[in-house]
């Protein structure tokens, strides 16, 4: 049975997480990326294409299935969004994931074979897209009834349901009450949880780090053309070479 909160999640992965921009078309209170600064940067599609090519080759070297995750800001309002995704889909063995508030649905395009995570909640676009994933960031002051009310249309619409706990919620809520909430919600709607806290899947680069963890084992690329193995660590600026991937990969392993 899959646990509601899997602290081993992503343990055997090594992703490429690309934040296409750091601006958004909405002001959501339950934003998944609320730990990031809002500015006006956009990453170049030329750089993205170049990095993905090197990433796919690197994953073949370490025998890991390549996964690229596009997010932001809101990736759907990047001026070259369709071009970037189209180029990524040229790699048949590359899984392409998109994290969006729904702005991507403003385009007419082929979404088949894409793993799309729609961030949902009060005041959001709240698109229902059968077979895709609805993600809800659970706030500390929400009741079980409120959460079920929010999630029900997406569940009935055939979407998978995933929840995150608010990055800034108290330790007590994250460690004690959030797991209890998930159990109660799961009695009505099948749901999985992503726990933002101290994870089991940490690597050598995480030794002595006490920060709340976003859990993703990846090389992170940012809209200002910097990169890092962790969004809460110092960022590196410069050419992305093979050793950049090796450094990030080793950061996440022992």
Residue 88's CB: how many other CB atoms inside 10 A? Answer: 22
- Name beta bridge partners: 115: 97
Per-residue model confidence as pLDDT tens digits over 112-166: 889 999 999 998 889 899 999 999 999 999 999 999 999 999 999 999 999 988 8
Asked if the model's pLDDT at residue 199 lies above 70, the reply is no
Per-residue model confidence as pLDDT tens digits over 17-68: 999 999 999 888 788 776 667 788 999 999 999 999 999 999 999 999 999 9
Residue 8's CB: how many other CB atoms inside 10 A? Answer: 11
More confident residue, 106 or 154: 154
Number of alpha helices (DSSP H) and beta strands (DSSP E) in the chain:
6, 10
Q: What is the mean pLDDT of the chain?
A: 88
Q: Which of 159-168, 172-181, 214-223 has the lowest mean pLDDT?
A: 214-223
Q: What is the mean pLDDT of residues 93-109?
A: 90
Which residues neighbour 83 within 8 Å (Cβ) at sequence distance 6 or greater?
A: 45
**Is pTM, for the whole model, over 0.85?**
yes
pLDDT of 12:
83
Locate 112 and state its tokens.
């088949």
Q: Which of 75-79, 94-98, 231-235 has the lowest mean pLDDT?
A: 231-235
Q: pLDDT category, 200, cuts 50, 70, 90?
A: low
Please say whether the beta carbons of 230 and 212 come within 8 A.
Answer: no
CA distance 137 to 118: 11
């Amino acid at each position: 049975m899959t646990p509601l909160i899997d602290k081993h999640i992503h343990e055997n992965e090594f992703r490429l997480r690309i934040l296409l921009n750091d601006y958004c078309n909405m002001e959501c209170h339950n934003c998944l990326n609320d730990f990031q600064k809002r500015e006006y940067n956009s990453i170049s599609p030329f750089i993205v294409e170049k990095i993905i090519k090197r990433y796919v080759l690197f994953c073949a070297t370490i025998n890991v299935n390549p996964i690229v995750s596009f997010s932001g800001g809101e990736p759907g309002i990047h001026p070259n969004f369709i071009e970037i995704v189209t180029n990524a889909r040229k790699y048949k063995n590359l899984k392409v994931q998109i994290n969006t508030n729904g702005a991507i649905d403003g385009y007419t395009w082929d979404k088949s074979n894409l793993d799309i995570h729609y961030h949902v909640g009060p005041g959001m676009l709240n698109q229902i897209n059968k077979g895709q994933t609805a993600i809800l960031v659970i706030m500390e002051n929400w009741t079980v009834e409120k959460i079920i009310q929010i999630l029900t249309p997406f569940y009935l619409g055939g979407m998978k349901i995933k929840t995150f706990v608010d990055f800034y919620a108290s330790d007590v809520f994250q460690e004690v009450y959030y797991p209890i909430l998930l159990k109660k919600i799961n009695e009505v709607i099948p749901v999985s949880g992503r726990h933002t806290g101290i994870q089991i899947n940490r690597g050598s680069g995480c030794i002595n780090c006490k920060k709340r963890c976003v859990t993703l084992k990846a090389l992170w690329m940012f809209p200002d053309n910097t990169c890092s193995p962790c969004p809460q660590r110092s960022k590196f600026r410069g050419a992305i070479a093979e050793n950049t991937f090796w450094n990030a990969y080793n950061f996440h392993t022992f």
